């Protein structure tokens, strides 16, 4: 099927509105539904905001992709919107189902972009934790839990894990303690996907391993190679991390799960939206390439 990048960027631009993030999120949601993306509420954040997945396509394979689980990595939200616009235009009937969760950590992203007033009753505690009104580098949720170390996959054994609320790396009071974590787990169990993708930044690398046996590691590396070829990113070992969504999918569900880190390593956090076109250019075809080769 032919596809025009110029047409796509023009269509996608309508979603990249200015203004507060929560208003932007609402406007984007309405526009995506008008393009016939089916919206599913998968749970709520700590502050009671609805977390949505958008179902695009039908049939197998089934892929769940989650974005912006780390607050300061909100550039991935805007990438998710562009991915959805492309999929809604290009995904042929019966060629597979993609469930995109464009922002898991809504409270955290709002904190980064809209400031502490977005946190309501949690504002004073967050100011005390952060020791600053500048939350631009915040990664955690509104309770100071780093959601991507909160999953029950060798929880608390990561090299950088900490045991107190913070802007990053706090594992939480127990595995799967946070409402955002629970929402993602429950939805994943409900869908029983063939593959999950976690979009993060930065480094232009792909992680796929987490203590798999040799047979599953070989299977999963083949899928990582599809993404490597599609993006030009490099496959690297996961290292001494634990408690991530990818890790939980691999260890508990025993399915392939990748983390894709977008943006050059030389970029500073948070990656600004002027870098989105380059990130988009490298990742635009990921879903199509996966569906062709799975």
Q: Is residue 155 part of a domain?
A: no
Q: Is residue 120 part of a domain?
A: no
Q: Is residue 194 part of a domain?
A: yes
The helix (H) or strand (E) run that includes residue 131 is none
Q: Is residue 140 part of a domain?
A: no
DSSP state of 119: G
How much is the pTM?
0.93
Instruction: Tell me: pLDDT of 271 over 80.
Output: yes
Instruction: Tell me: pLDDT of 44 over 50.
Output: yes
Tokens, residue 162: 């900490």
Specify the pLDDT at position 19.
Answer: 53
Number of H helices, E strands in the chain: 10, 8
Which of left, alpha, beta for 61 (phi over 0: left; psi -120 to 50: alpha)? beta
Specify the pLDDT at position 12.
Answer: 41
- Look up the CATH number of the domain holding residue 285: 3.40.630.10
The residue among 144 and 294 whose pLDDT is bigger is: 144
Specify the pLDDT at position 239.
Answer: 86
Contact 79, 284 (CB under 8 A): no
Specify the pLDDT at position 198.
Answer: 98
DSSP string, 8-28: HHHHHHTT---S-HHHHHHHH
Going by C-alpha positions, the residue among 128, 160, 157 that lies closest to residue 144 is: 128
Q: Is residue 186 part of a domain?
A: yes
3-state secondary structure of 38: strand
**Domain encompassing residue 11:** 5-106+179-204+218-262+273-293
> Over the stretch 104-147, which tens digit does the pLDDT of each residue have?
999 999 999 999 999 999 999 999 999 999 999 999 999 999 99
Q: Is residue 145 part of a domain?
A: no
Specify the pLDDT at position 43.
Answer: 98
Instruction: Tell me: pLDDT of 56 over 70.
Output: yes
Instruction: Tell me: pLDDT of 14 over 70.
Output: no
Specify the pLDDT at position 210.
Answer: 97
Instruction: Tell me: pLDDT of 3 over 50.
Output: no
Cα-Cα-Cα-Cα torsion 216, 217, 220, 225, nearest 10 degrees, comes to -150
Q: Is residue 229 part of a domain?
A: yes
Residue 277 Cα distances to 19, 272, 280, 281, 291, angstroms: 20, 11, 5, 6, 23
Give me the chain's average pLDDT, please: 93
Instruction: Tell me: pLDDT of 92 over 70.
Output: yes
Residue whose tokens read 């300061």 = 72
For residue 80, count other CB atoms closer than 10 A to its CB. Answer: 22
What does the pLDDT average to over 171-195?
A: 98
> Over the stretch 217-240, which tens digit does the pLDDT of each residue have?
999 999 999 999 999 999 999 988
What does the pLDDT average to over 237-249?
A: 95
Instruction: Tell me: pLDDT of 93 over 80.
Output: no
What does the pLDDT average to over 7-29?
A: 64
Q: Is residue 37 part of a domain?
A: yes
Specify the pLDDT at position 280.
Answer: 97
Q: Give CA–CA dist 168/72, Å, rounded.
A: 10
3-state secondary structure of 33: helix
Number of domains in the chain: 1
Residues 6 or more apart whose CB falls under 8 angstroms from that of 100 comprise: 53, 54, 56, 65, 67, 80, 83, 84, 87
What does the pLDDT average to over 17-29?
A: 82
pLDDT grade for 256, boundaries at 50, 70 and 90? very high
């Amino acid at each position: 099927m032919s596809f025009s990048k110029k047409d796509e960027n023009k269509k996608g631009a309508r979603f990249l509105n200015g203004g507060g993030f929560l208003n932007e999120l609402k406007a984007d949601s309405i526009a995506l539904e008008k393009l016939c993306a089916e919206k599913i509420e998968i749970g709520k954040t700590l502050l009671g905001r609805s977390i949505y997945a958008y179902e695009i396509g039908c049939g197998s394979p089934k892929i769940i992709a989650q974005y912006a689980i780390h607050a300061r990595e909100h550039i991935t939200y805007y990438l998710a919107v562009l991915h959805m616009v492309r999929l809604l235009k290009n995904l042929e009937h019966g060629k597979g189902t993609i469930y995109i969760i464009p922002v898991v950590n809504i409270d955290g992203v709002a904190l980064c972009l809209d400031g502490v007033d977005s946190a309501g009753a949690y504002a004073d505690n967050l100011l005390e934790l952060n020791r600053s009104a500048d939350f631009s580098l915040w990664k955690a949720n509104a309770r100071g839990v780093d959601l991507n170390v909160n999953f029950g996959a060798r929880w608390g054994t990561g090299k950088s894990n900490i045991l107190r609320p913070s802007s990053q790396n706090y594992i939480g009071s127990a595995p799967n303690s946070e409402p955002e974590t629970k929402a993602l787990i429950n939805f994943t169990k409900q869908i029983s996907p063939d593959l999950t993708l976690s979009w993060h930044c930065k480094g232009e690398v792909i992680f796929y391993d987490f203590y798999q046996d040799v047979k599953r590691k070989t299977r999963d590396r083949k899928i990582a190679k599809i993404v490597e070829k599609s993006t030009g990113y490099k496959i690297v070992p996961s290292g001494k991390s634990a408690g991530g969504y990818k890790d939980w999918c691999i260890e508990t569900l025993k399915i392939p799960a990748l983390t894709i880190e977008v943006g050059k390593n030389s970029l500073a956090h948070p990656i600004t939206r002027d870098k989105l076109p380059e990130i988009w250019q490298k990742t635009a075809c990921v879903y199509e390439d996966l569906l062709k080769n799975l």
